Amino acid sequence: MNEQWISVKSSDGFAIDVFVMRPEVPAKAAVVVGMEIFGVNSHIQEVCKRLAGEGYVAIAPQLFDRIQKNVDMGYSADDVVQGKALKQQAETNLKTEISSDIQACIDWAYDHEGVNKVGMMGFCWGGLNTWRAAQHAQSLWAAICYYGGGMVAENELADKPVAPVLAHFSDSDATTPPDGIATLRERYGEEAVVYEYPAAHGFNCDQRGAYNQGAAEVAWQRSLAFLRMCLQ
């Protein structure tokens, strides 16, 4: 596999840093990976490597670049505080720009990697951004949301997703309460496949105390099957 940091220009000319992992063989599809609030850290890069191992070009944009460059944090209490502060700035001032940055990465994959289809997979805040991309992005063929904090709030459920969605939720996550998950199922049952797991927020990340190997493996296999169905 081949990994590389590149620069992708958004629609307003801003250049965002992007981690790219390519498979050994030419890929027919790409997956944009939406980071958590900790930047494109070792966990997100590992997700990219796993996706490349399945034959996809994986593309992880540094979505805090407009606030702070080179964000790469772990999961300590201090990292959580810093990550939440960065997210607050992004959500307050840069939602439109971040959506444009994601669209730029989707477009870049088509223009520079020769792929036929592009999907997106995001974790935590990246899950929320993936949900928004499913609603509004152009030429997105699949959206996989892992415990997307806030994505089942009423304001986030206002718009119907255009891309097919697979959503993985914790059954004990205060950022995605059960009534919101139920509303998602009821309102968009034809567009979104929803699973809940007996695990905590962050269960996919083996660097976090919330890691749950069983839930992570089941969710990953479901995600791969969804990508095969949507991106083949």
Quote the pTM value.
Answer: 0.97
- Write down the catalytic residue from 107, 145, 201, 205: 201
Element (H, E) at 203: none
Q: What is the mean pLDDT of residues 139-159?
A: 97
Q: Is 74 helix (H, G, I), strand (E, B) or coil?
A: coil
CATH of the domain at 154: 3.40.50.1820
pLDDT at 1: 82
Angle, helices 125-136 vs 95-113, to 10°: value is 70
Contact 86, 71 (CB under 8 A): yes
> In this structure, are residues 42 and 26 in contact, taking their beta carbons and an 8 Å threshold?
no
Mean pLDDT of 116-138: 98
Contact 176, 152 (CB under 8 A): yes
Mean pLDDT, rounded, for 179-189 = 97
Instruction: Order the strands of the 165-170 sheet from edge to edge.
Output: 2-9, 15-22, 57-61, 29-34, 117-123, 142-146, 165-170, 192-197
Residue entry with tokens 């444009």: 100
Which among 57, 23, 28 has a CA at the least distance from the CA of 116? 28
User: What pLDDT, on the 0 to 100 scale, is given for residue 195?
Assistant: 98
Query: Which tokens is 104 given?
Result: 């730029």
Q: What three-state secondary structure class fits 2?
A: strand
**Residues 210/199, Cβ–Cβ less than 8 Å:** yes
Which tokens go with 198? 């007996």
Residue 81 pLDDT:
98
The overall longest dimension of the chain from CA atoms, in Å, is 44
pLDDT computed for residue 194 by the predictor: 98
Give pLDDT, residue 72. 98
Percentage of the chain surpassing pLDDT 70?
A: 100
Cβ neighbours for 218, distance < 8 A, ≥ 6 positions apart: 197
- What's the pLDDT score for residue 121? 98
Kindly report the average pLDDT of the chain as a whole number: 97
Q: Is 201 designated active site?
A: yes
Pick the catalytic residue from 124, 145, 205, 230.
Answer: 124
pLDDT in tens, 62-120: 999 999 999 999 999 999 999 999 999 999 999 999 999 999 999 999 999 999 999 99
- Distance separating alpha carbons of residues 138 and 106, to the nearest angstrom: 8
What is the residue range of 25's domain?
2-231
230 carries an active-site annotation: no
Which pLDDT does position 158 carry in this prediction?
95
Q: How many domains does the chain have?
A: 1
| 168 catalytic per annotation | no
Catalytic position from the list 107, 145, 173, 205: 173
Rounded CA gap, 140 and 134, in Å? Answer: 7
3-41 pLDDT per residue, tens: 999 999 999 999 999 999 999 999 999 999 999 999 999
pLDDT value for 197: 98
